[in-house]
Amino acid sequence: MPKTLLKFSLLFVIFALLYTACEDVPENKIWPVDTSNDVAQPVITRVYPDASSMDKDSVAFAAVGYIYIEGQGFASAPEDNRVFFNGERGDVVSASPTLLKVKLPNVVGDSIKIHVSVKGSLLFARYKNLDYFFPFRAKNVVRQYKAIDRFVDATGLAVDKDDNVYVLTTEKKILKLTDPDSTLPEQYGTSIFITTPCMRFGPDGRLYLTRGTKSIYAVPAGGGKAARWVSAPSYVSFLDFDQNQNLYAGGKGGEIDVIHQDKTKMTAATYPDYYITSLRVYDGYVYVSAEYRGQDTTQIQQGIWKNKILDNTGNLGDNELVVNWTELMGEDGPKILSITFDEDGEMYIGLDKDNAIYLLNQKTYWYSEVLSPPASLITWGNGTYMFINKHAELPEDRAILRVEVSKKGAIYYGRPTN
């Protein structure tokens, strides 16, 4: 290129740049941002995971938990506040100038930094002499038992007073799982069969098991070989105890049988042509989930019922419908695999597909961010842990889980307390 042409080209570029610089540029394209209308720097005074908690050392649940951030200078509209946990954004669900409620992202750790950004403020919210809150702790809400992997087919689920977990394997071994991280389970007992729909501790310390027949088996207190304890009036798969040590059992026969500790027995309620798929005693009632197996298309195809416990011998009142599950979820909806209650009376329903657990009273899915179906068996321990047996069709999807909850389960009368 000739030198003269090169000089003219350079001059043209310089004049173009000068002209552009003199133009009026919209304010929203200026950088740095115009701070002439900037609001004062927000302030964080306290962060905690429970609205009623004053414990600064309490830990939040990643992905499913909520935290509260107290301070000054926050925006009243939730969308005008942004909260980040080690750079991952949380969901601000409610806001006021002095309080934010935030759902946590899936960030776990003991030294998490929380940054709060408020619209109109160039600076992050201040905490003491920092522009972030630190340290914040969040933990996994779900722990998987390492002793149960794709090579161990475990059915049943029982929990003792110390939150040790018991399952039956296809090797006819009853395993005791004391800690999620342990890979060496203790052998608690043996069985003559390889699978069980249900196992429960009784008030006498024995571990009771079913196999879908009329026979109910028991392992002696402290462990050992399962032996047939009694024969029920009908085919039974699921069982539970009441405060008078009566054992209620139900299953394929569509009956709720009552077996007393002296082995006397009776049929206390009948659901003709139904298959009972779960059973739980709560607040003076026996609750059952059941599927209709008859030919009458006008019958409820799947639902939950309850029968009032009338006396200390286990006599039951009429069948009372709690929920028409088919109507609620649709004909192609998930099936009920297990039911239980928390201490406040919320019913937790374990499902076979789509989601793991449904809360009946709240009408919402529970911990869907971290749990996947199936929830074949669900039960609480003595504290704030729920235990789940995911007995899935594919071996790689099977697991025994311990889920931390912010409340306890409803009382279980069969579990010895000393």
Shared domain check, 86 and 155: no
Nearest C-alpha neighbor of 353 from the set 370, 330, 337, 339: 337
- pLDDT value, residue 57: 55
Alpha carbons 100 and 104: distance in angstroms, whole number: 12
Shared domain check, 285 and 223: yes
Last residue in a domain, options 118, 139, 160: 139
Shared domain check, 213 and 67: no
CATH of the domain at 102: 2.60.40.10
User: Within its chain, how far is the Cα of 237 from the centroid?
Assistant: 24
Tens digit of each residue's pLDDT, the chain (418 residues): 454 544 545 544 444 444 444 444 443 333 334 444 567 999 999 999 975 444 445 689 999 999 999 999 999 999 999 999 999 999 999 999 999 999 999 999 999 999 999 999 999 999 999 999 999 999 999 999 999 999 999 999 999 999 999 999 999 999 999 999 999 999 999 999 999 999 999 999 999 999 999 999 999 999 999 999 999 999 999 999 999 999 999 999 999 999 999 999 999 999 999 999 999 999 999 999 999 999 999 999 999 999 999 999 999 999 999 999 999 999 999 999 999 999 999 999 999 999 999 999 999 999 999 999 999 999 999 999 999 999 999 999 999 999 999 899 999 999 876 5
Last residue in a domain, options 89, 115, 139: 139
Shared domain check, 269 and 134: no
In a domain? residue 25: no
Shared domain check, 168 and 95: no
CATH of the domain at 316: 2.120.10.30
Shared domain check, 397 and 357: yes
pTM of the model: 0.86
- pLDDT value, residue 417: 62
Domain count, the chain: 2
Last residue in a domain, options 89, 109, 139: 139
Half-sphere exposure of 271 (CA within 13 A, CB side): 35
Alpha carbons 102 and 209: distance in angstroms, whole number: 44
- pLDDT value, residue 406: 86
Shared domain check, 189 and 101: no
> Range of 189's domain?
142-404
In a domain? residue 234: yes
Shared domain check, 245 and 149: yes
In a domain? residue 33: no
Shared domain check, 244 and 307: yes
Beta bridge partners of 60: 138
In a domain? residue 331: yes
In a domain? residue 18: no
